[in-house]
Structure 1
Amino acid sequence: MSAGGGTKAVLAALAANLGIAVAKFIAFLFTRSSSMLAESIHSLADSGNQALLLLGQRQSTKPADETHPFGFGRSRYIAGFLVGIVLFTVGGLFSVYEGIEKLRHPHHLESGLIAIIVLAVAIVLESFSFRTAIKESRHIKGDATWWRFIRDERSPELPVVLLEDLAALVGLVFALCGVGLTLLLDDPIWDAAGTLAIGVLLLVVAVVVAIESYSMLVGEAAAAPVVAAIREALASAPSVTAVVHMRTLHLGPDELLVAAKIGVDEGLTTAQVAAAIDEAESRLRAVTSITCRIYLEPDIPSAVAVAEAG
């Protein structure tokens, strides 16, 4: 995926969350609702997350140098991992702490109607952000399920924004239920329960984001269909007799390292081997839109058989 769609979704989420965070915090000052405070911190954390994602995108475009010969593409994965940490420490843990405190020391709401109005407006704005993320993701997702898209997509921005926006909408519903039940039943324990539910929700999302980003930081291969297409392209090249073994590794969302040992016809001259490798590389690049760094090692069938037997 190019960064363009992800950037549009991130910017939409950032604009929505900054405005929502200010509105929620003002509502908290009037109502003293713990659910509103938790949602204010949630939106503030989300704004910081989007800023991290944008910074990661910017860092990833830096040209390669002697110290970083494969470039800075993984900066986007580092940003995604930090987003998980921010969600965990700033959003989730604070909300859980605040919810437990309000369960122990209930506090009656003031001007609850203001909280309900702000939450309703926030749901509309978050829905706009979520709709943008879905629209940008749909043409990349194809026929895959949304969960499979989140698990398999190698660009971190869209899955992260999708999860954040979904968590934000569900969190707003929790807050709305907490405030609404508190006003209806005149019992502040429901506001505390809403706050605690928001915290647990954020922790779950944070763990998912962190696990997926960590996996890419450690190093993941290309998706199975891409690996199969690359292997087939190499095997179809003239003078190539076999793909002995192959490894792929994402250097970044839009850059792939491909290393393979290929069998070539016995008796080829050095020039012919070089030509066979060039053709194999050309066919490989034709089957994937991802920028590839390709390293191919030729071997003759007899040497391959000896190596496999050994």
Structure 2
Amino acid sequence: MASKHSSKTVILAALIGNFMIFVTKLGAALYTNSSAMFSEAIHSIVDCGNQVLLLYGIKKASRKADRDHPFGYGKELYFWSFVVAMLIFAVGAGVSLYEGFHKIMEPEEIRSIHINYIVLTVAICFEAYPWKMAYDEFNARRGKRGLVDAVIRSKDPSLFAILFEDTAAMLGLFTALIGLFIGDFFGIPEADGAASIVIGLILAATAAVLAIECKGLLIGEAADQQVIDSIENLMEKHAAVESVNEVLTMHFGPTDILLNLSIDFRDEISAGDVEQIITDFEIQIKEMHPDIKRIFIEAQSRRGHFMNSQLE
């Protein structure tokens, strides 16, 4: 299924929406003295900062390879996505939890609560559109995979980071709305602070999942198993190949894969034929998988490969 939007478009839509929501929430929080609303305002401005960092990461990652970075700058995106996770945890979750505990210990009456209801309802409407854009884009890319498996297998943290952020934002808005309603209807002012704590926990959980996914990409994740299997099948079907010793892949970016191959060619094949076959393999592999940018193919006997692997 073709995607409708690029990751950059989704991030820009989320940035514009979150900034508008931040201004509205902050005004309401200052006017009504709501802890949950203040936590939501902090949440929105943190999201704005995160989206700016993701856009910066996309720009830096697009730079071409040079002498100092021969494999390019693709992992810049993974680094800045990890920074986003840390900001969500340290700033978003930290401030929300602090504000929540403070308001539970020293509850204050919320003024003009109907303003908060209006602002939260409007914010949900504003947030729904970028969330739908992020979900549609993610849904288009995941194909037939389940949501959890698609997140684990995804190599584009900028996309699932926005999906996570927007999902957390929607949950936070509904949490704030429920907390304000309980406090108003049942006369429990501490409910406002409790809602702020729940928002903080939602943000902490979001940050933890995002950090775990970005950590795997920073360390170096392999390409999808389907990609590896298709390359192995291509090699094994060739008459000149005795066996495929090893297929190693690593993502340097969402669409930048490094491929290392160790192949045992038949002994009767000449060196010139091996060179031509390797060239043909590189052309075929890049036609099959355009995301594979660099290919290194090693001609090595199976016995020699086994002996070398024992020395590692």
Residue 303 to residue 151, structure 1, CA distance change in 2 (3 Å): closer
The answer as to whether partners of 1:14 and 1:46 remain within 8 angstroms in 2 is yes
Residue matched to 2:48: 47
Residue matched to 1:202: 203
> Mean alpha-carbon deviation: is it higher for 222-231 or for 205-214?
222-231
The answer as to whether partners of 2:39 and 2:99 remain within 8 angstroms in 1 is yes
Residue matched to 2:235: 234
Residue matched to 2:212: 211
Residue 309 to residue 81, structure 1, CA distance change in 2 (3 Å): closer
The one-letter code matched in structure 1 to 2:107 is P
The one-letter code matched in structure 1 to 2:272 is A
The answer as to whether partners of 1:3 and 1:57 remain within 8 angstroms in 2 is no
Mapped to 2, the partners of 1:306 and 1:37 lie a distance apart of 63
Mapped to 2, the partners of 1:165 and 1:283 lie a distance apart of 40
Normalised to the residue count of structure 2, the TM-score between the two structures is 0.94
SS in 1 for 2:244: strand
> Mean alpha-carbon deviation: is it higher for 295-304 or for 116-125?
295-304
Residue matched to 1:222: 223
How many Å apart are 1:14 and its aligned residue? 0.7
Residue matched to 1:96: 97
Where in structure 2 are there 5+ consecutive unaligned residues?
A: none
The one-letter code matched in structure 1 to 2:115 is I
1:287 counterpart = 2:297 = no
Residue matched to 2:144: 143
Tell me how many residue pairs correspond in the alignment.
310
SS in 1 for 2:6: helix
Residue matched to 1:110: 111
Mapped to 1, the partners of 2:261 and 2:196 lie a distance apart of 53
How many Å apart are 1:268 and its aligned residue? 2.1
The answer as to whether partners of 1:96 and 1:196 remain within 8 angstroms in 2 is yes
How many Å apart are 1:37 and its aligned residue? 0.4
> Mean alpha-carbon deviation: is it higher for 161-170 or for 286-295?
286-295
SS in 2 for 1:91: helix
Residue 116 to residue 74, structure 1, CA distance change in 2 (3 Å): same
Q: CA RMSD in A?
A: 2.0
SS in 2 for 1:116: helix
The answer as to whether partners of 2:33 and 2:111 remain within 8 angstroms in 1 is yes
How many Å apart are 1:182 and its aligned residue? 1.5
How many Å apart are 1:236 and its aligned residue? 2.9
Mapped to 1, the partners of 2:54 and 2:296 lie a distance apart of 31
Query: What does residue range 78-89 of structure 1 map to in structure 2 within 5 Å?
Result: 78-89=79-90
Query: What does residue range 161-180 of structure 1 map to in structure 2 within 5 Å?
Result: 161-180=162-181
Identity among equivalent positions (%) equals 33
Mapped to 2, the partners of 1:301 and 1:112 lie a distance apart of 74
Mapped to 2, the partners of 1:303 and 1:249 lie a distance apart of 24
Measured against aligned partners, the alpha-carbon deviations of 1:81-138 in whole angstroms (never above 9, x if no partner) come to 0110010011001101111111111011011111110000000111111111111122
Residue matched to 2:13: 12
How many Å apart are 1:224 and its aligned residue? 1.5
Residue matched to 1:133: 134
Measured against aligned partners, the alpha-carbon deviations of 1:268-297 in whole angstroms (never above 9, x if no partner) come to 222111011112212222321313210000
Residue 109 to residue 299, structure 1, CA distance change in 2 (3 Å): same
Residue 286 to residue 109, structure 1, CA distance change in 2 (3 Å): same
> Mean alpha-carbon deviation: is it higher for 279-288 or for 202-211?
279-288
Mapped to 1, the partners of 2:155 and 2:217 lie a distance apart of 8
Residue matched to 2:190: 189
Residue 211 to residue 304, structure 1, CA distance change in 2 (3 Å): closer
Mapped to 2, the partners of 1:6 and 1:275 lie a distance apart of 39
The answer as to whether partners of 1:238 and 1:276 remain within 8 angstroms in 2 is no
The answer as to whether partners of 2:32 and 2:112 remain within 8 angstroms in 1 is yes
The answer as to whether partners of 1:87 and 1:203 remain within 8 angstroms in 2 is yes
Mapped to 2, the partners of 1:301 and 1:17 lie a distance apart of 56
Residue matched to 1:64: 65
The one-letter code matched in structure 1 to 2:276 is A
Residue 28 to residue 305, structure 1, CA distance change in 2 (3 Å): closer
How many Å apart are 1:239 and its aligned residue? 1.4
